[in-house]
Amino acid sequence: MTQVAEERAEAVAVPAALADLVADGDVVVLSGAGLSTESGIPDYRGETGRRRRAEPMTYQRFTCDAEARRRYWARGHLGWRHIAGARPNAGHRAVAELQRRGLLAGIITQNVDGLHQAAGADGVIELHGGLDRVVCLGCGERTPRARLEDRLREANPGWDARPHMINPDGDAVLSDADVASFAPVDCARCGGLLKPDVIFFGENVPPARVRDCYALTESAGTLLVLGSSLTVLSGYRFVRHAARHGIPVAIINRGATRGDEHALLTLDAPLGPALDALVSPAS
């Protein structure tokens, strides 16, 4: 049995205090990569991330280094198939079910995989953007990732690289020879640089998006953190904001998090089984 299957099979007892907080409603979910690992998408800082030791692309390197961009798009061209083929797991479905029941005030996700929406959730604030879109750094036009993938296939006939492994955010590890033979494409409209519509390391989240997340956090009855180590300030700031406003913080994660000191309660458990138990309590 695989680790994913074992985690899905593992029974989780949800504390009554957590169930009561969620049942009170007005819950704002803040989700991280740990929510998607059970869908086969690795993370940077959890156990799958530690095994890969990935070095993420920075905005500065992407915009200034043509060879770095070639490497990114070659690896991303193959890795995107893995992300696009991923399906929501029990955790994503449970969050969507909580929203359907009217218990959620909002969903903020640090993930870029679109699995919340694929599970049926709506109004999701994608803090770090989404891999299913591409933006031109010249004219600002946003286009579907599928359209770019068609253009990349046309520009690289016969390119048949095989990834050694898949890193976070759809980054497929390739040989130097495979990267060198790959031809990226530029914006079809203006010839500008294309970039996935996600926030790279070293890039700032748009201020308006941050303000929306702060406002949502302030109005929450509970801030429920799911699958995030809260290592980076991007998500951690909302936990601190909730704590400053006296809003209860609950955290479900594999292992300790940076926000534990601000939490009313924490649960160290696999996300899918824990959230499944939360929406389907034992009678």
Q: Which residues are CB-contacts of 81 (< 8 A; sequence separation ≥ 6)?
A: none
117 annotated ligand-binding residue: no
Nearest CA to 267 out of 204, 234, 230, 224 is that of 224
**Count of CB atoms situated within 10 Å of the CB of 177:** 9
138 annotated ligand-binding residue: no
CA atoms within 13 A on the CB side of 272: 18
Beta-strand pair 222-226/27-31 = parallel
Cα 265 off chain centre by? 23
- Please give the structure tokens belonging to residue 60: 């500065």
213 annotated ligand-binding residue: no
253 annotated ligand-binding residue: yes
Contact between residue 48 and residue 229 where contact means Cβ atoms under 8 Å apart: no
The verdict on whether 241 is a catalytic residue reads: no
Nearest CA to 224 out of 245, 257, 246, 249 is that of 249
φ, ψ for residue 14, nearest 5 deg: -90, 125
255 annotated ligand-binding residue: yes
Q: Where are the alpha helices (DSSP H) in 86-206?
A: 90-100, 115-118, 145-155, 176-180
Q: How far is CA 97 from CA 91, 92, 120, 121, in A?
A: 10, 9, 8, 8
Cα distance between residue 49 and residue 35, in whole Å: 13
254 annotated ligand-binding residue: yes
Q: Is 170 exposed, middle or buried (0-12, 13-18, 19+ CB in 10 A)?
A: buried
64 annotated ligand-binding residue: no
Beta-strand pair 129-136/124-126 = unpaired
275 annotated ligand-binding residue: no
Catalytic residue among 128, 164, 241, 262: 128
156 annotated ligand-binding residue: no
170 annotated ligand-binding residue: no
187 annotated ligand-binding residue: yes
As annotated, the binding site for NAD(+) includes 110-113, 227-229, 253-255, 271
List the binding residues for Zn(2+): 136, 139, 187, 190
Residue set of the binding site: 110-113, 136, 139, 187, 190, 227-229, 253-255, 271
| Catalytic annotation, residues | 128
